[in-house]
Homo-oligomer: A and B are copies of this chain.
């Protein structure tokens, strides 16, 4: 007797759910690794991660699964964005990828990246590039092998990019980024020469970490991050990770002398967390329950961090609330001062501490270097020099140490090549979404001034979060905003906010 497609899909769904249990267990081990794993426990943890990755890989290449997938194959219509079709389509795509990749390569990559991250930690602490170089070389070798297997007729780089931003092409991104760069470089120059620059002092007053922790928990909850379905912890390189349908965790870090790190870092991660918490839980583990790519993920973090958290109206509401929680350290300051200080734009060395404008230049540098490293045009050993000279070219500064230069990011040590451009894509999407949200909701600034974040979140839930990954990002941005990916709204937003502050 033939089973109905419904029955087949239900079995497929159950199978994937069980796989997700293991994947989420691995996510828990990783979260644990990054929140205080005992120093000596790294090697054993790496073995555990390798074992679990192998088990997940086995489940994803098992005969039973292949049969289910094959039987369900006809559910996957390329033009149908129903959750069922999207789920099957994504599984078929992943399966195709898994079949092509030899298990040895998968295991080698998993091990290299665990060890790579440990080496990166040490190299960064010691400011010693040589400690990291062989690991990075191995990681790029492995990822190049992967790209060669997957790329087909396309670019090697696009084969990796596709894993973070489905359907994106480096050629198109290069064009979109060029338009943005052409607008931002002169803008940054003009601001540098402005006589009305804020001095950013509001965020330079030392604030005890305990107070900052209190603020972080408060502000994450205030904008809508749900602590019954998540938690906020401390780590050296902040991130957001999902450990189950009701367990999305965010992490931040605290610098006593620079309050902005934890404040905006927390808002950023809370934005990611709010997105994850808004995905349809009944689809957990399948595409309709997952984010529509990293660009959209980043759009959600940037939206809360910058478009909300660096707005004038936000500070009119937040000033008193924050001041109470930092022991009155801002006594006498106006919302206008803090707002201006939150919008200090200046070329700097560290991506994660960069302002909303220059951030995109940090990304473009990485985007260019990782393309050259992957293609082999740039040898790994030359990467630090390339890094430093591009910083000079785009931002007019040269890192005095590798710690503040090429060793600052965890990404490459974790094997994430093709990931960086999604950050700027996020800024671009966020600006496009805010334009559409304003058309739909009306006066967003007025809502922010009253601390009413719910209408904006509800709009995002309905139009972005609930769609999961039923659409690739280029289709989703068109669907939600009616327009293709474009850097124009971002340029317009930045100019209109910053011109009055810098008297341009």
Contacts and interface: CB of A to CB of B under 8 A. Distances in A.
B229 A40 contact: yes
A64 interface: no
A318 to B, nearest CB: 25
A246 B44 contact: yes
A230 B41 CA distance: 8
Contacts of A493: none
Contacts of A18: 51
A228 B39 contact: yes
A246 B44 CA distance: 8
A494 to B, nearest CB: 36
A41 B247 CA distance: 6
A43 B247 CA distance: 11
A25 to B, nearest CB: 5
B36 A25 contact: no
A38 B48 CA distance: 24
Interface string A14-52: 000010011011001101100011111101110110011
Given A28-B28, A28-B29, A38 B230 contact: yes
Nearest to A17: B47
Nearest to A47: B21
B40 A52 contact: no
A38 B245 contact: no
Interface in A213-257: 227-231, 243-247, 249
Nearest to A229: B40
Interface residues of A, number: 34
Contacts of A37: 247
Nearest to A26: B25
Contacts of A22: 51
Contacts of A25: 25, 29, 48, 52
A470 to B, nearest CB: 23
Chain multiplicity (copies) = 2
Contacts of A21: 44, 47-48, 51
A400 to B, nearest CB: 31
Given A38-B231, A39-B228, A230-B38, A247 B44 contact: yes
A24 B40 CA distance: 15
A32 B36 contact: no
Nearest to A246: B40
B36 A24 contact: no
Given A41-B244, A247-B40, A28 B24 contact: no
A326 to B, nearest CB: 17
Interface in A442-477: none
A38 B22 CA distance: 19
A256 B369 CA distance: 54
Nearest to A233: B36
Given A28-B29, A28-B32, A29-B25, A244 B39 contact: no
Contacts of A45: 244, 247
A349 to B, nearest CB: 31
Contacts of A228: 38-40
A231 B36 contact: yes
Contact of A38 (B32, B40, B210, B229): B229
Contacts of A229: 38-41
A10 to B, nearest CB: 17
B38 A247 contact: yes
A22 B48 CA distance: 7
Interface string A74-95: 0000000000000000000000
Contacts of A247: 37-38, 40-41, 44-45
Given A40-B229, A231-B36, A48 B24 contact: yes
A201 to B, nearest CB: 29
Contacts of A243: 41
Nearest to A44: B244
Nearest to A243: B41
Contacts of A244: 41, 44-45, 48
Given A22-B51, A28-B28, 12 more contacts: A21-B48, A24-B44, A28-B29, A31-B32, A38-B227, A38-B228, A40-B246, A40-B247, A43-B246, A44-B246, A45-B247, A48-B244
- Ranked 7 nearest A-B pairs via Cβ: A41-B247, A40-B246, A44-B244, A39-B228, A40-B229, A41-B246, A21-B48
26 contacts: A21-B47, A21-B48, A21-B51, A22-B51, A24-B44, A24-B48, A25-B29, A25-B48, A25-B52, A28-B32, A37-B247, A38-B231, A38-B246, A38-B247, A38-B249, A39-B228, A39-B229, A40-B228, A41-B243, A41-B244, A41-B246, A41-B247, A43-B246, A44-B246, A45-B244, A210-B210
